[in-house]
Amino acid sequence: MYPPIRLLDHIIKGRGTTPTRWIRCIITRFRTKFLNAAAATESCTAVNKNSHSSSSLIVDEFTRFCYQRDLPRAIHALHSMQKYKLWADSITYSELIQCCLARRAIHHGRLVHKHLFSYGHRPKTFLMNILLNMYVKFKLLEEAQALFDQMPDRNVVSWTTMIAAYTNATMLRDKAFQFLILMLRDGITPNMFTYSSVLRACNGLPSLRQLHSSIMKTGLDSDVFVRSALIDIYSKLGELHDALRIFNEMVTGDLVVWNSIIGAFAQNTDGDEALNLFRRMKRAGFLADQATLTSTLRACTGLALLELGRQVHVHVLKFHRDLILDNALLDMYCKCGSLKDANSAFTRMGEKDVISWSTMIIGLAQNGFSREALQLFESMKASGTKPNYITVLGVLFACSHAGLVEDGQFYFQSMRKCFGIDPGREHYGCMVDLLGRAGKLDEAVNLIHEMECEPDAVTWRTLLGACRVHRNTDLAIYSAKQILNLESKDAGTYVILSNIYANSQRWEDVAQVRRVMRDQGVRKEPGCSWIEVNKQIHAFILGDMSHPQIEAINMELNQLIRRLKELGYVPDTDFVLQDLEGEQKEDSLSHHSEKLAIVFGMMSLSREKTIRIRKNLRICGDCHLFAKLLAKMEHRNIVIRDPVRYHHFSSGVCSCGDYW
């Protein structure tokens, strides 16, 4: 027998002493934890031998059922106690309430609450806190608040429970701060529990810095919970330097703090740093858990590192099924453009939630399988999973990227009625895209004017993109001006505007745009493409000659272009964003970063391997044509991921059907 149990048995059997009910409960609880329910029952029976009154028997029986976690019997016994106006001790009730929580039995929880307050009886603060926590965990904040208002004595736990409750309710985060102030006015000192909760409620740097300095004064910033909350909130507010500084100041880690900092970089699209930290963590001797792997997968997803992602997948298999991790794995395969792996991961999932379905729908749509995405959406509805804001966005995205105008309009018009989702700015954006791509520019403009919320720069950029495709100069200039009113330093828009003027030979306007760009210090982000070869990431930037094999790559590229021209390839110079002429125009196109990356991939990877490229800007028409023809001529599979979607090139065609 576990040694402390012997000692407890010694106490229980008593040598003449009768343990108080409180001690007996502790013993029963101890036995439940370390032995089993039968042993707990045995110790209750041992206690009962000393009890003679029937009321004591009823209470003891209730106690036993509570510790055995036999909810129906415990509730049944509770009714008897209620009839005889009997009460058990606080710890027994706390066991019962925890049991109600675990079984999601709110009805029984409310019954216990009623019992505790019947006949003018008032439970201790400790027990009221347990009840408070129960309502919070059931997300019944109004009931929690009502109970809190009734409490004659509120201690630091009562206040912290409410603060944590409001922090978790995103819409009510301001209340968490108000409660901290009220708590201080009430003379209650916050502790590490309070701070680790309230930190997440900070919505801006000033409030965070102020709170951080109060925490520093108490010295509680050394607490690991407070520290990881600090790292997390600084990174969520985009202050990664502060997050990393707090992390580095730490003397010893624990796993969650590592997870905080890895998650911070993975979410802030700095996957490289996240992966570096992951390696550092492993060197420091920590074993990754589900949260670590989820963040690591997200970093792979952001960087489109399929091979590394597959390695993480091997680690994932060592763990029990975890829905969040499974979803991250699914997204990784979708975003790395490997739909085959994504499909098998999706099929193998034990449990699927709205995120799993949405990830797969969006993944299919982005990879050019719009019809399949819509079919999956129908299966999702049939499975009983309710679509949300993002699911519908994925569905509309699928329609707009395949020119399915009627389907898109149907889903858009029925989303409120069928799924109870109000169309947001992003849904309108998808519709503007859908109509714009299909050449229905007037309808797209009308829709923008009908929007229930203000259009933003993204909405206008969508329209501008459609204007470029359908060569509507006037509307393009109008859209560009709308964008620049909202975002005066948007480099891409200036470049497009100057290009539109150049195509219309309006050289004075071109000069004017260039002048504004110079005066405002606007610089266009250079095109950059990445490719993973032998676990190394190779970056190609337009105009950058630093890659060690750049000369060989350029020679190979020029040769390929010559051979493609013999087969009828004509560079599409419409995409040149400068007012250059003839040969020069063609030359600036021929060194777009994705072309360099593709050629490098061809030189480095065996023919059966897919060449996978990720790039920071959208692919231009000329590179698209180049990739299609090259895929055919060289019998290669090429996948290019741009910031919006994927292009799978094979046998001279692209999965996007030249519609993007």
Partner DNA sequence: TTAGGGTTAG
Among positions 141, 257, 434, 445, the unique one binding DNA when judged by CB under 7 A? 257
Interface stretch with DNA, choices 175-183, 262-270, 377-385, 484-492 (CB under 7 A): 262-270
Letters for 123-152 (x = contact with DNA by CB under 7 A, - = none) are --xxx-xx--x-------------------
Nearest approach in angstroms of CB 176 to DNA is 11
CB closer to DNA out of 26 and 140: 26
* Three-state DSSP state, 639: strand
Residue 292 binds to DNA (criterion: CB under 7 A): yes
Nearest approach in angstroms of CB 131 to DNA is 10
The amino acid that residue 575 corresponds to is F
Joined together, the tokens standing for residue 446 give 């009308």
Interface stretch with DNA, choices 160-168, 455-463, 485-493, 630-638 (CB under 7 A): 160-168
CB closer to DNA out of 195 and 540: 195
**Which positions from 68 through 97 interact with DNA, judged by CB under 7 A?**
90-91, 94
Residue 290 binds to DNA (criterion: CB under 7 A): yes
Give yes or no for a contact between 386 and 358, defined as CB atoms under 8 angstroms apart.
Answer: no
Residue 499 binds to DNA (criterion: CB under 7 A): no
Q: At what angle do helices 621-633 and 593-604 cross, to 10 degrees?
A: 20
CB closer to DNA out of 247 and 569: 247
The amino acid that residue 507 corresponds to is W
Helix (H) or strand (E) holding 193: helix 192-198
Residue 296 binds to DNA (criterion: CB under 7 A): no
CB closer to DNA out of 305 and 477: 305
Letters for 198-237 (x = contact with DNA by CB under 7 A, - = none) are --x----------------------xxxxxxx--x-----
- The site for DNA, by CB under 7 A, has a size of 75
Residue 247 — left, alpha, or beta (φ > 0 → left; ψ -120 to 50 → alpha)? alpha
The amino acid that residue 621 corresponds to is G
Among positions 32, 197, 482, 498, the unique one binding DNA when judged by CB under 7 A? 197
The Cα 155–Cα 282 span in angstroms is 41
Count CB-CB contacts under 10 A for residue 371.
Answer: 14
Nearest approach in angstroms of CB 654 to DNA is 20
CB closer to DNA out of 35 and 390: 390
Residue 424 binds to DNA (criterion: CB under 7 A): yes
C-beta pairs of 578-585 under 8 Å, 24+ apart in sequence:
578/502, 579/502, 579/507, 579/510
Nearest approach in angstroms of CB 84 to DNA is 24
**Which positions from 330 through 389 interact with DNA, judged by CB under 7 A?**
331, 335, 353-356, 358-359, 362, 388-389
Residue 168 binds to DNA (criterion: CB under 7 A): yes
Output phi, psi for 579, to 5 deg.
-90, 65
Residue among 468, 595, 610, 602 nearest 528 (CA):
595
Joined together, the tokens standing for residue 470 give 């359908």
Residue 28 binds to DNA (criterion: CB under 7 A): no
The Cα 95–Cα 92 span in angstroms is 5
Strands lying side by side in the sheet with 536-541: 536-541, 528-533, 611-615, 638-641, 646-650, 653-654
3-state DSSP helix/strand/coil percent for the chain, to nearest 5? Answer: 70, 5, 25
